[in-house]
Amino acid sequence: MYRGVGCKMDIRSVGIAANLRKSGVYEVVGKLIDLLRERGLVGILEEDLRDLFPGGRALNVGDIRGADVVVAIGGDGTILRTARALRGTGVPILGVNLGRLGFLAEVSAEELSEALGMVLDGKAQVEERMGLTTYAEGEGREFFAVNDVVLERGTSPRMIEVRVFVGEEFLGSYLADGAILATPTGSTAYSLSAGGPIVHPKLEGILLTPICPHSLSVRPMVLPPDEEIVLGVRSDWGEDMALTVDGQLRCRLHPEDRVAVRRARERVRLLTLPGRSFYNVLCTKLLWGGGKQCISQEAKC
C-alpha cells in the first residue's frame, strides 16, 4: 500500500541516524540537536554518535527503534540502513541528503529546520513502501531489503547460470553476470543501471532484471507482488558468487544454491513534504529538466 496522507503525530522523541563519513554531517547533527532542544523534544542518538555529541537533558543515547520518528542524515544508503534497523516498528523516517543523488532523502541540510517544523505541525505525509524478504538457502540466513536483492558472479570473469521459478512454475534460465530482484522503490537504483524500468512506488511488484545476459531475448520483467520468486544459481568455476542486499549486506553463494524472494510483511514508512512528487524527483535527480527542479511554471504544460 502507498499512502500520501497528512499525518499529525504525537512526537516527543526523535531518533538520529547519521553517516559519519559524509562531509558536514557533524554540523547537521548538531543543528538538529539544537532544533530539538528548542522544541522541548528528546533526541535519541545512535550508539555510533555517543562520543561525538555530549549528552544533556534533551539528549539520550540508545535504541532509535523507540523513537516516534527518525531523521536519517547522509543519503539513500543511510536511509536503507535505518529502514532495516527499524523493521517492524512502523517508525517513519525523514531523510536528509548530504550526498549527490538521493532519491529517498527528502530534504537538504539547508531545509532541515523547515522540514522538521512541517513534520511536527502535521504537514508531512507518510508513504508506505513495500520491502522484500530474502532467504539464502546455502547460508541459512534471511534478509530484509528495501531496494533490491542481487545475485552476482563475484570476482570470477565467467558468467553464472540463473534459473528462475515464479511460484511453482519454471520461467526459464540464462547465462549472465547475475540478476537483480528489486522493489518499485529500488527501481531507480541498480536495476535502472542494468536496464530495468522505472516503477512508480504507488505500484507494487517485484522487478526481475538480468545483469548483462548472454542473450538478446532475455528482458527485465515486473512480476506480481504476491508471488514467491526462487532463483537457482550454478557455476562450474568456483564458489565466488555472492548475494548482496541493498548494496550493503553480503553473503556467499554456493554452487546449486537457491535464493527465495517474496514481498515482506513489514512496510517501510517514509516522510515526504508537500509539493514534492515522485515525478519531480525524477525530473530533478535524472536531469530531465536540464538539471533544474521541475516546479516552475515554465515546466508545466
Please report, in tens digits, the pLDDT of each residue of the chain (301 residues total).
Answer: 444 545 567 899 999 999 999 999 999 999 999 999 999 999 999 888 877 776 655 567 778 999 999 999 999 999 999 999 999 999 999 999 997 777 898 799 999 999 999 999 999 999 999 999 999 988 889 999 999 999 998 877 889 999 999 998 999 999 999 999 999 999 999 999 999 999 999 999 999 999 999 999 999 999 999 999 999 998 776 567 899 999 999 998 888 889 999 999 999 999 999 888 888 888 888 888 665 556 554 445 4
DSSP codes joined into one string, 27-95: HHHHHHHHHHHHHTPEEEE-GGGTTTS--BTTEEES-GGGSSEEEEEE-HHHHHHHHHHTTTT---EEE
The catalytically annotated residue of 34, 63, 76, 148 is 76
| Amino acid 239: pLDDT | 64
CA–CA distance, 45 with 49 (Å, rounded to integer): 6
- Largest separation between any pair of C-alpha atoms in the chain: 63
Judged by DSSP in three states, 157 sits in coil
Using an 8 Å Cβ cutoff, are 253 and 243 in contact? Answer: yes
CA–CA distance, 142 with 146 (Å, rounded to integer): 14
Number of other residues whose CB lies within 10 A of the CB of residue 128:
16
Which alpha helices (DSSP H) does 95-160 contain, by range? 112-120
CA–CA distance, 131 with 268 (Å, rounded to integer): 7
Q: What is the pTM of this model?
A: 0.89
CA–CA distance, 287 with 291 (Å, rounded to integer): 4
- Grid coordinates belonging to 294: 521541475
CA–CA distance, 234 with 228 (Å, rounded to integer): 20
CA–CA distance, 40 with 8 (Å, rounded to integer): 17
Map grid coordinates 530534504 to a residue: 107
Give me the phi and psi of 250, to 5 degrees please: -145, 140
Element housing 279 (H / E): helix 278-285
Active site residue 48: no
Element housing 178 (H / E): strand 178-182
| Amino acid 2: pLDDT | 43
CA–CA distance, 108 with 102 (Å, rounded to integer): 10
Give me the domains of the chain, ranges plus CATH numbers.
Answer: 5-124+273-299 (3.40.50.10330), 131-265 (2.60.200.30)
Stated length of the chain: 301
Map grid coordinates 512526537 to a residue: 11
Sheet containing strand 148-152, strands side by side: 221-223, 206-211, 178-182, 148-152, 242-245, 249-252
Using an 8 Å Cβ cutoff, are 44 and 61 in contact? Answer: yes
Amino acid making up residue 121: D
Which letter does DSSP use for residue 250 in this model?
A: E
